[in-house]
Amino acid sequence: MSAYDVCIIGAGLTGLLVARKFIESGKRVLLVERGGEYLPEMEDRNGWWREETVSEVPTPDGRILTRNTFDGAEELFPDLAACDTRNAPWNFQYNMWRGVGGSGQMWSGMAWRLAPHDFRLHDTFGTGRNWPISYEDISPYYDRAEALLEVSGPGADVAETYRYWPWKNNYAYPPFRLSYLDTSFQASIGEIGEIVMQPHAVRNRPASEGGCVGAKTCVSFCPTGAIFKSRDRLFDDIAMDDNLEIMVETCCLSLDWDEGSGRITGAILRERGSEEEIPVEADLFFLCANALENILLIRRSEVRTGKVFGKTSPQVGRRFSSHGAFTYSVLTDQPVFPVRGRPTHGSVIEWVDRTPEERRNGVTMEVWQSDFLRGYHPREHLEKDIAAGHWGVTLFRRMAEYERRFAISFVFETEMSDITGVSLSPDYTDAYGMPLPLVKVSLGENDENTISFIRRKVAEIAESPGIARLEQIGCGLNGNHPLGGLTMSDSAETGVVDRYGRSHDFSNLYITGGGAFCSTGSFNPTLTITALALMTLDDPRLGLVSEP
């Protein structure tokens, strides 16, 4: 049996941060990653990973198996994510990348903080829960996360002119300015909502210096390395260190623990294509996969060991959720010249703010520089229109609309309730023969009120001057923003981890990622996940040197 100072399950953004910190402290680290390496080539787009999912026919009891897949996917990526889920269209269509870098390798780069009131949800709006930390507690870690991710965003001189911008930031680079499309759309919608410049973990500098060139391939491949990709920025620095051992294409089947001492005693691993189970021991264990994978590991461990995961077991998987979204195709009267610059530059964020009397959740509207579900290039629009059966005059008209078409997406906060959660699927298994997650997310009263609010805003926008047509092209839960289910709390009766991400039950177990969230907010969670990981590494009980 191999013994280490630290065993880290998951080589994504937080796993690589944890590994780097302990290696710097001279500790012997084992880094376990279920996926492999992702080294795409610009000339071979068929080899790129994609976010696409397919859903199978619902079972008689309403369950739906969803899978991340696309043409050639199984040959390139033999262990893609899948999920057993309920409540379409508000079912969780899991489509996250497995591999070195994790979801921090496959993302758009939006780097928002949560709103300060998100940490005091119950005190502010009389709904949901408060976090055991305040915005003031996490704010210094947001500063460090923005520096680490090299975020570009509006300076104080610009941000203070916005109707709503509740943060004080010191971004590494200036913002990506609003496009002609953004300003034209703003002129149409007027006082309905103010479009502000977004923060992005993308270097806004000349292309010759590694800056963004607007390739529109951010999630799968960045040709200049401008966007922060966790594998590219963090892994190479530690990959050859003598204190690091990394096992890729290796699944952690289960943990084991001693209830008397309150410690994790070991983990069982298995490499892809092998039936041999590999036991490992360590002084410290870090679960650094995403929220859903971390929940699954704990639940599978209970089944394999026949033991209960301490006092927090009833809380594992509860209050799981994700962001909801409605996406619309917008057709304008005049050309807005889409596909200039980054995929998206601006958002309306003032609808995050509201009164308790509204009984709704926060909403962010993202303005996209194309009708992205149809594609960024006119050829993609042409191919999809032909595949849909359009021809002749209709096809000509639709192609003529290309310069007048783009998309808006209403991303909304969802309630984390005790009736939503994650368990193990009774029917479906993964590539290792382990149960898939069974995810149930139900919309509550505030969610329904939020949907009504969005529909009212859509109606207002549709009646605005210069808007020819709005067409809904999608709605559902975001399949790559799993949040909650391992909630942060002050006690084992109400959550799974403490404010530093340490297990309430096991003194040598830490859990990073979005599972600790006590509210979803309506912003991309990556910056908050990064800030929480930096806060975890500052836990005085770890004895590490804190960074300024």
Least confident span in 19-23, 186-190, 377-381 = 377-381
**Can you list the positions of beta strands (E) in 26-181?**
29-32, 53-55, 64-68, 82-85
Rounded to an integer, the average pLDDT of 41-60 is: 85
Q: What pLDDT was estimated at residue 214?
A: 87
**Can you list the positions of beta strands (E) in 44-159?**
53-55, 64-68, 82-85
Please name the residues in contact with 392: beta carbons below 8 A apart, sequence gap of 6 or more. none
From CA 88, how far away is CA 523, in angstroms rounded? Answer: 23
Q: What pLDDT was estimated at residue 434?
A: 96
Residue 380 exposed, middle or buried by CB count within 10 Å (0-12, 13-18, 19+): middle
From CA 294, how far away is CA 317, in angstroms rounded? Answer: 9
Contact 73, 431 (CB under 8 A): no
From CA 212, how far away is CA 227, in angstroms rounded? Answer: 7
Rounded to an integer, the average pLDDT of 279-304 is: 97
Give exposure, 345-375, as e/b (b: 16+ Cβ within 10 Å). bbbbbbbbebeeeebbbbbbbbbbbbbbebb
Contact 478, 441 (CB under 8 A): no
Banded pLDDT at 51 (limits 50, 70, 90) = confident
Higher pLDDT, 163 or 383: 163
Pairing relationship of beta strands 421-429 and 344-348 according to DSSP bridges? unpaired
Q: Tell me the Cα Rg of the chain.
A: 23
Residue 456 exposed, middle or buried by CB count within 10 Å (0-12, 13-18, 19+): exposed
**CA distances in angstroms from 428 to 56, 65, 186, 442, 466, listed in the order given:** 12, 8, 47, 21, 49
The answer on pLDDT for 373 being more than 90 is no
The answer on pLDDT for 374 being more than 80 is no
Give tens-digit pLDDT for 87-103: 888 889 999 989 999 99
Q: What pLDDT was estimated at residue 396?
A: 84
From CA 363, how far away is CA 348, in angstroms rounded? Answer: 9
Percentage of residues of the chain with pLDDT beyond 90: 80
Q: What pLDDT was estimated at residue 231?
A: 94
Banded pLDDT at 58 (limits 50, 70, 90) = confident
The answer on pLDDT for 112 being more than 90 is yes
Please name the residues in contact with 393: beta carbons below 8 A apart, sequence gap of 6 or more. none
Least confident span in 187-201, 243-257, 409-423, 449-463 = 409-423
Q: What pLDDT was estimated at residue 87?
A: 81
Residue by residue, DSSP assigns 453-504 as HHHHHHHHHHTSTTEEEEEEEEEEE-TT--B-SS-B-SSTTT-SB-TTSBBS
Give the residue among 481, 466, 367 at the shortest CA–CA distance from 416. 481
Give tens-digit pLDDT for 171-184: 999 999 999 999 99
Q: What type of residue is 50?
A: R
Distance of alpha carbon 219 from the chain centroid: 12
Q: Which two tokens stand for residue 179?
A: 């496009």
Q: What pLDDT was estimated at residue 377?
A: 76
Winning range, highest mean pLDDT, from 366-380, 384-398, 437-451: 437-451
Give the residue among 325, 321, 425 at the shortest CA–CA distance from 83. 425
The 8-class DSSP code of residue 165 comes to -
Rounded to an integer, the average pLDDT of 302-327 is: 97
Q: What pLDDT was estimated at residue 244?
A: 97
Q: What phi, psi does 498 have (nearest 5°)?
A: -90, -170
From CA 529, how far away is CA 268, in angstroms rounded? Answer: 26
Give tens-digit pLDDT for 60-93: 888 899 999 988 888 888 899 999 998 888 889 9
Distance of alpha carbon 82 from the chain centroid: 16
From CA 85, how far away is CA 92, in angstroms rounded? Answer: 6
Give tens-digit pLDDT for 481-513: 999 999 999 999 999 999 999 999 999 999 999
Cα 494–Cα 496–Cα 498 angle in degrees, nearest 5 = 90
Give the residue among 366, 368, 456, 370 at the shortest CA–CA distance from 412. 366
Contact 362, 412 (CB under 8 A): yes
Percentage of residues of the chain with pLDDT beyond 70: 99
The answer on pLDDT for 1 being more than 70 is no
Q: Which two tokens stand for residue 47?
A: 């080899």
Whether the ω angle into residue 482 lies within 30 degrees of 0, i.e. cis, is: no
Please name the residues in contact with 48: beta carbons below 8 A apart, sequence gap of 6 or more. 40, 217, 220, 221
Please name the residues in contact with 239: beta carbons below 8 A apart, sequence gap of 6 or more. 246
Rounded to an integer, the average pLDDT of 15-22 is: 98
Banded pLDDT at 548 (limits 50, 70, 90) = low
Higher pLDDT, 36 or 1: 36
Rounded to an integer, the average pLDDT of 302-325 is: 97
Least confident span in 52-66, 267-281, 459-473 = 52-66
Q: What pLDDT was estimated at residue 505?
A: 98
- How much is the mean pLDDT over the chain? 94
The answer on pLDDT for 323 being more than 70 is yes
